[in-house]
A and B are shown apart, each in its own frame.
Chain A
Amino acid sequence: MNYFYKYLFSFIIFITIWWLIQYITDSPSYILPSPYRVFLSIKNNLNLLAYHSIITFLEILVGFILGLIFGMYTGILFIISKSMRKWMLPFIVLTQAIPVFAIAPILTLWIGYGIWSKIIMTVLIIYFPITIAFYDGLKRIDPMIINLAKMMGANTFSMLLKIRIPFALPQLSSGLKLAAAFAPMGAVIGEWVGSSEGLGYLMLYASGRVQIDLMFSSIIILAIFTILLYNFVSYVSNIITRWDPKSHIN
């Protein structure tokens, strides 16, 4: 509950500052609409916003899950295979050197305007932080524990499952939190480049028709998605790293 009040408090501060800026500068509503106007716009366009939100939410969710699976899989490959780590790691870094904004139009061209090009954008954005965080976690382990497990007769699989992966969970959690903050960005970039539905599309649509209040509504809903996803991930992270005092400081 305490947590909820913290968010409520930040929200009130945010709305107050927004309202003050609008009040002092006396900006017209097509430049900066007042919080109240945006509230009205959310109320009046509830069905429209709900429809586009579901699309974007789906893209974020599926992208997040796939990114998590691919990222963890790659991290494990890097640990068990020296040649994978040697040849794949530079390749993955290289893919990160190309801005996602540059890849987005190509993806749309290849995969089309549908939901999948956005999901792939999301996967591309979160794959790297998850892979690197997980790989680092799998690697950063007391070598004596590995030696001990080998002496006890562990094979590659039981070593991974019972020793390395649990030890890597605190690091993976950091990667997951970064991914939760980045994932909505991937989906929206995808929608900007080419789509006919989703919150990113709605933002462009509203901006083109100078419906700035609708644009702000989309942004606020997207922000709420990000906060929800981040908090959900934090919650799960806290459970899986309960044993680690370093993951829990007040």
Chain B
Amino acid sequence: MDKTNLSFLLEGSLKISQEILFSDVKLKIKFNKWTSIIGVSGSGKSTLLKIIAGMDLPDVFKSTIKSSNKNYSFSWMAQNDLLLPWASVINNVTLGQKLRGEKLDKERALSLLDQVGLINEVNALPSTLSGGMRQRVALARTLMEDKNIILMDEPFSALDSITRSAMQKLTWKLLKDKTVIMVTHDPLEALLLSNDLYYIIKNKLRSIKLPNSKPFRTVNDENLLYSHKFILNKLEKSYIR
């Protein structure tokens, strides 16, 4: 296989009004791997993800970030599950097909709902579900779309710690062979799940050497704890300027 097809590169810089958010971003995304970006609140990490997705940004942002390939399709999973409140679980999962006017693949939707443990809630409305269940519906919807690249904007940060841990394992299980770009403020989460890890410090995007073990890592991994401490130190310094 041609080597250039195994990854793509994002380069450029981003300004908000006159202030620089990122200068000289160089982000290499490898296919079928998880790439995570850690940064404190307001560091522009979510904006970076929106740029990758090609979303419209408010006029105050000025971006020169270019991607080496534009033919990818994306799906999106965020902290807010973005479920349609009037649609049942199954209708939310098949939303993409409905919007495109395609024939609904109910069988596949049901099998995905089974995988995320919601086979008994197929006809429930989102408002009757817990936060964790809603996020699992969003996960099933993301999988249903089957796009090249999955973008995740702090997908677990609104969940309680037990649910979050379970969700991280489930998401990893279902998405481990996909190309995922995840933005998070939680260094531990990023260390557990990532193949490649970047952090944002002083308007720069830097990569971090990860422990040799493969994700999904265990929390008692000594190298992981060392990396965790290292990231926290760096990020704290960037916070107290």
CB distance from A121 to the nearest CB of B (A): 35
Residues of the B chain whose Cβ atoms lie less than 8 Å from the Cβ of A144 = 76, 78, 80, 82
Residues of the B chain whose Cβ atoms lie less than 8 Å from the Cβ of A149 = 95, 99
Within 8 A of A (CB), among B55-89: 55-56, 73-76, 78, 80, 82, 84-86
Question: Are A151 and B82 closer than 8 Å at their CB atoms?
Answer: no
Closest-by-CB residue of A relative to B75 is A151
- Inter-chain CA distance A151–B56, complex, in Å, is 12
Partner of A159, one of B56, B84, B99: B99
- Inter-chain CA distance A163–B127, complex, in Å, is 17
- Inter-chain CA distance A163–B86, complex, in Å, is 10
Question: Are B55 and A243 closer than 8 Å at their CB atoms?
Answer: no
- Complex interface bits, B99-116 against A, C-beta within 8 A gives 1, otherwise 0: 111000000000000000
Question: Are A153 and B86 closer than 8 Å at their CB atoms?
Answer: no
Residues of chain A at interface, number, CB under 8 A:
21
Contacts A151-B75, A152-B100, A152-B145; A142 near B125 (Cβ below 8 A): no
Question: Are B99 and A162 closer than 8 Å at their CB atoms?
Answer: yes
Contacts A153-B99, A162-B98; A148 near B76 (Cβ below 8 A): yes
Question: Are A158 and B78 closer than 8 Å at their CB atoms?
Answer: no
Main secondary structure, interface of B, reads mixed
Residues of the A chain whose Cβ atoms lie less than 8 Å from the Cβ of B27 = none
Q: Does B96 contact A (CB under 8 A)?
A: yes
CB distance from B97 to the nearest CB of A (A): 9
Residues of the B chain whose Cβ atoms lie less than 8 Å from the Cβ of A31 = none
Partner of B82, one of A145, A166, A242: A145
Q: Does A244 contact B (CB under 8 A)?
A: yes
Q: Does A178 contact B (CB under 8 A)?
A: no
Closest-by-CB residue of A relative to B78 is A144
CB distance from A147 to the nearest CB of B (A): 5
- Inter-chain CA distance A155–B74, complex, in Å, is 16
Q: Does A245 contact B (CB under 8 A)?
A: yes
Q: Does B159 contact A (CB under 8 A)?
A: no
Q: Does A32 contact B (CB under 8 A)?
A: no
Question: Are B100 and A158 closer than 8 Å at their CB atoms?
Answer: yes
Q: Does A154 contact B (CB under 8 A)?
A: yes
Q: Does B53 contact A (CB under 8 A)?
A: yes
- Inter-chain CA distance A154–B56, complex, in Å, is 15
- Inter-chain CA distance A160–B55, complex, in Å, is 19
Residues of the B chain whose Cβ atoms lie less than 8 Å from the Cβ of A151 = 53, 73-76, 147
CB distance from B221 to the nearest CB of A (A): 35
- Inter-chain CA distance A212–B182, complex, in Å, is 76
Q: List 12 A-B contacts (CB under 8 A).
A: A144-B78, A147-B50, A147-B56, A151-B76, A152-B75, A152-B100, A153-B96, A155-B99, A158-B101, A163-B84, A166-B84, A166-B86
The 10 closest A-B pairs by CB, nearest first: A243-B86, A152-B96, A154-B99, A153-B100, A158-B99, A147-B55, A243-B85, A152-B99, A148-B82, A145-B82
Q: A162-B98, A163-B84 are in contact. List 5 more A-B contacts (CB 8 A).
A: A151-B73, A154-B99, A158-B99, A244-B85, A244-B86
